[in-house]
Chains A and B, each alone.
Chain A
Amino acid sequence: MHDVGKVFSNGTVALGALSLDVREGEFLSLLGPSGCGKSTALRIMAGLAAPSSGTIAWPSSTINRRGLPEGDIGFVFQDPTLMPWQTVFGNVYLPLRLRGTGKAQARDIVMANLARVGLADFAHAYPRELSGGMKMRVSIARALVTQPKVLLLDEPFAALDEITRHKLNDDVLALWSQTGVTVIFVTHSVFESVYLSSRIVVMRGRPGQVFSDLAIAQPAVRGAAYRVSELYRANCQAVSDALQGAMQMAET
């Protein structure tokens, strides 16, 4: 997948003529103050909301019969949104079940994705038996089970404590480098976006628009050392400045 161009604008305040090219395999963060329409933009990309004007173009070579990228789109919501009556296995199996894949046929791929997020031993547990971080991992495994080309995450770790959040950030990075999936990550945390992304798009609100588009230089190996490095500090500074500018512009 390359060069997703999309233009949409919304009659209401949510989004106004937002244009964005997403490149294949990149880790893009959408950063902005709350209410700037970043979640709306993500929902439109996923086809969960219709743009009131403008279009989204996926490269034609990679779209499936539903007009979405191959493997559909993996979506991780703000909440884990698991079905409480299903086991962890049942929850991760769901996207394949909806496609008509038999349980026996799906078992291996479901278990592989559970192993990927470190939850292979919890396949038969029910969601209520899991911690918040583990529920989020199940949600990520479910988003990856169809082997999507695009993974959308909508402030997935906002409700988690910082230690769990750091761990999950590393996990998401590992998944990204293993699978080569294109990630679009919505967050309102400067630090989180700097740690994760190869590119950060700062949005401003009312109506939602791209304020600045920053390429982020990253070390080959991230980790605790990166969080205290000069490069990280400089990246945070640049992104913070951009965010500050976006918020000032929204006020005037």
Chain B
Amino acid sequence: MVSAWGKALQILVPLLALAAGIVVWQWIVTANQIPSYILPGPLDVALALLSDSATLWPALLVTLAITLMALAGALVGGVLIAIVIVQSRWLELALSPFTVILQVTPIIAIAPLILIYAPNTQTALLICAFAVAFFPVLSNMVQGLKSVDHGLLDLFELHGASRWQTLLYLRLPASMPYFMAGLRIAGGLSLIAAIVAEFAAGSAGQGAGLAFRLLEAQYRLNLPRMFAALVMLCGTGIAIYGLTSLISWLTLHRWHESATRREN
């Protein structure tokens, strides 16, 4: 049996370990008198986080906006195209070379090309992040829409369900677990892709994202700021993961095996 104390420990132990890691890091830096342009301590990073917030926060918002827009586009596009694809086996076959080519080509390699064709850098970044986040959603949804219990398909046919009813009441709900898996993968990937695309674009100026601030700090050997930017990105990644996991849990916990506890 798991007691309240046991539950508290489950949360406390990782937090204490993290805190211990930070303390050790600070101790190493202080004890060896390592200058902050070689390895800043956690205190330097925290100070940079505060003092550079005027630079870093707007940059984070730019990156976050690209990430979320790309994710939203990937979800809508992935689901819609998956629905179209599963309507016909021939269509799926005809589209397969394009999806395979786009999926296997590393996006960083296409990014320079997209930068040439896109009207502005923002759009190019958005396209890159979208292209990366799109495929996990698409392939998961195609898989989900196809893996419907045959007995239930028979039942719907028996009662004269239309194609639309079968999609709405059977195929879409049945593919929710697959959609949620796609969402969690795409959430993480869209942030990574936004950063990678920013690196490739290397754009400065007003609308610069966090990745560019990271590069900029590197040129200036401003290591505390680099670490501060990394901490922000890490926090963003955790937030996205937490949020997508929460959405998944809220949607599935009442019925799906993945979200329910085993009863002993």
Contact = CB atoms under 8 A, between A and B. Distances in A.
Interface in B166-187: 169-170, 173-174, 176
B160 A66 contact: yes
Contacts of B260: 128
Contacts of B52: none
B67 to A, nearest CB: 30
B36 interface: no
Contacts of A60: none
Contact of A95 (B154, B159, B174, B257): B159
B158 A83 contact: no
B159 A83 contact: no
A98 B161 contact: yes
A112 to B, nearest CB: 19
B170 A83 contact: yes
Interface residue tally on B, bucketed by range: 20 to 34
Contacts of B254: 85, 126
A87 to B, nearest CB: 9
Given A77-B151, A84-B256, A48 B157 contact: yes
Contacts of A98: 156, 159-161, 165, 169
B173 A72 contact: no
Contacts of A43: 154
B255 A85 contact: yes
Given A95-B159, A98-B156, A83 B151 contact: no
Nearest to A80: B151
A126 B255 contact: yes
Interface string A108-128: 000000000000000000111
Interface string A56-100: 000000000010000011010111010111100000001101110
Contacts of B22: none
A84 B260 CA distance: 13
Interface in A101-145: 126-128
Chain A CB count within 10 A is highest, among B154, B156, B174, B256, for B154
B16 interface: no
A17 interface: no
B169 A81 contact: no
Contact of A72 (B149, B156, B160, B256): B160
A85 B173 contact: yes
Contact of A99 (B159, B170, B176, B256): B159
Interface string A27-49: 00000000000000001001110
Contacts of B170: 83
Nearest to A75: B158
B255 A79 contact: no
B255 A128 contact: yes
A46 B158 CA distance: 7
Interface of A: 43, 46-48, 66, 72-73, 75, 77-79, 81, 83-86, 94-95, 97-99, 126-128, 146
